[in-house]
Chains A and B, each alone.
Chain A
Amino acid sequence: MISSPAIGLSTIYRRRIAVATKTVPGLIGLTVTPVLWILIVAPALAEALGGFSTDIDYYTFVAIGQVAFIIPFTSMFSGINVIVDKDFGILRELMAAPIPRASIPIGNALAVLSIALVQVAIIIVLAELRGAQFETSLAGVLWFIGAASFLSLITYGFAETLALLVGRQEAYGPLVPAVGVTPWFLAGALFPISLLPAGVEHLARALPWTHALALMRYGLMEGTDSGLTNIWHMDSAPLMAALSMATLAGMAVVSLAVAVQVFYRKTSA
Chain B
Amino acid sequence: MPANAVSVEDLRKTYKNGVEALRGLNFAVESGEIFGILGPNGAGKSTTMGILTTSIKPTSGRAAVAGHDVVQDPLAVRRATGVVFQESVLDNDFSGLDNMRLHARLWGLNREEAEARTSSLLGVMGLSERAGDGVRTYSGGMKRRLEIARALLGKPRVLFLDEPTAGLDPAIRIEIWGLIQRLRRSEGVTILLSTHYLEEAEGVCNRVAIVHKGQVVALDSPGALLDSLGSEILELRVDGEAQRAADALAGVASFSSPPILIGDTLTMPVTNGDGPRFVEAVRQSGASLLGTTIRRPTLNDVFMQRTGAVSNGPARS
| Interchain CB contact under 8 A, A88 and B92 | yes
Selected interface stretch from B102-110, B123-131, B243-251: B102-110
Return chain A residues, CB-CB under 8 Å to B92.
88-89
Selected interface stretch from A12-20, A174-182, A225-233: A12-20
| Interchain CB contact under 8 A, A3 and B91 | no
Annotate B88-106 by CB proximity to A: 1 below 8 A, 0 otherwise. 0111111000100011011
Chain A CB within 8 A of B55 CB: yes
| Interchain CB contact under 8 A, A93 and B75 | no
B13 to chain A, nearest CB (A): 8
B interface residues, how many (CB within 8 angstroms): 34
Q: With contacts A23-B93, A269-B15 known, is A98 near B105, CB below 8 A?
A: no
| Interchain CB contact under 8 A, B55 and A268 | yes
A268 to B50, CA, bound (A): 9
Return chain B residues, CB-CB under 8 Å to A23.
93
| Interchain CB contact under 8 A, B93 and A19 | yes
List B1-29 residues whose CB lies under 8 Å from chain A: 15
| Interchain CB contact under 8 A, B78 and A15 | no
When C-beta atoms are compared, the residue in chain A nearest to B79 turns out to be: A98
Return chain B residues, CB-CB under 8 Å to A88.
92
| Interchain CB contact under 8 A, B55 and A3 | no
| Interchain CB contact under 8 A, A3 and B75 | yes
| Interchain CB contact under 8 A, A3 and B53 | no
A3 to B106, CA, bound (A): 7
A180 to B222, CA, bound (A): 59
Chain B CB within 8 A of A2 CB: yes
| Interchain CB contact under 8 A, A97 and B90 | no
Q: With contacts A90-B89, A100-B75 known, is A11 near B55, CB below 8 A?
A: no
Chain A CB within 8 A of B309 CB: no
Neighbour of B106 across the interface among A92, A98, A267, CB < 8 A:
A98
Return chain B residues, CB-CB under 8 Å to A1.
79, 107-110, 113, 154-155
Q: With contacts A2-B108, A19-B93 known, is A97 near B55, CB below 8 A?
A: no
A191 to B57, CA, bound (A): 52
Chain B CB within 8 A of A117 CB: no
When C-beta atoms are compared, the residue in chain B nearest to A103 turns out to be: B106
Return chain B residues, CB-CB under 8 Å to A18.
94, 98
When C-beta atoms are compared, the residue in chain B nearest to A14 turns out to be: B105
Return chain B residues, CB-CB under 8 Å to A96.
53-55, 78, 81, 83
Return chain A residues, CB-CB under 8 Å to B89.
89-93
| Interchain CB contact under 8 A, A15 and B102 | yes
Chain A CB within 8 A of B85 CB: yes
When C-beta atoms are compared, the residue in chain A nearest to B13 turns out to be: A269
Chain A CB within 8 A of B142 CB: no
A22 to B87, CA, bound (A): 24
A91 to B75, CA, bound (A): 16
A90 to B110, CA, bound (A): 22
Return chain B residues, CB-CB under 8 Å to A22.
93-94
**Which of A4, A23, A90, A100 is packed against the most chain B CB atoms within 10 Å?**
A90
List A75-100 residues whose CB lies under 8 Å from chain B: 88-100
A90 to B53, CA, bound (A): 16
Return chain B residues, CB-CB under 8 Å to A92.
55, 85, 87, 89
Return chain A residues, CB-CB under 8 Å to B108.
1-4, 7, 98
A220 to chain B, nearest CB (A): 36
A4 to B79, CA, bound (A): 11
Chain B CB within 8 A of A8 CB: yes
When C-beta atoms are compared, the residue in chain A nearest to B15 turns out to be: A269
Neighbour of A269 across the interface among B56, B78, B85, B106, CB < 8 A:
B56
| Interchain CB contact under 8 A, A90 and B90 | yes
| Interchain CB contact under 8 A, B79 and A3 | yes
| Interchain CB contact under 8 A, A98 and B93 | no
Return chain A residues, CB-CB under 8 Å to B57.
268-269
A73 to B89, CA, bound (A): 29
- Can you name 7 A-B residue pairings with CB atoms under 8 Å? A14-B105, A15-B102, A89-B91, A94-B106, A95-B55, A98-B75, A98-B108
- 8 extra interface residue pairs, beta carbon distance < 8 Å, beyond A15-B102, A19-B91, A98-B76: A3-B108, A10-B105, A19-B93, A89-B92, A91-B89, A94-B106, A98-B108, A269-B57
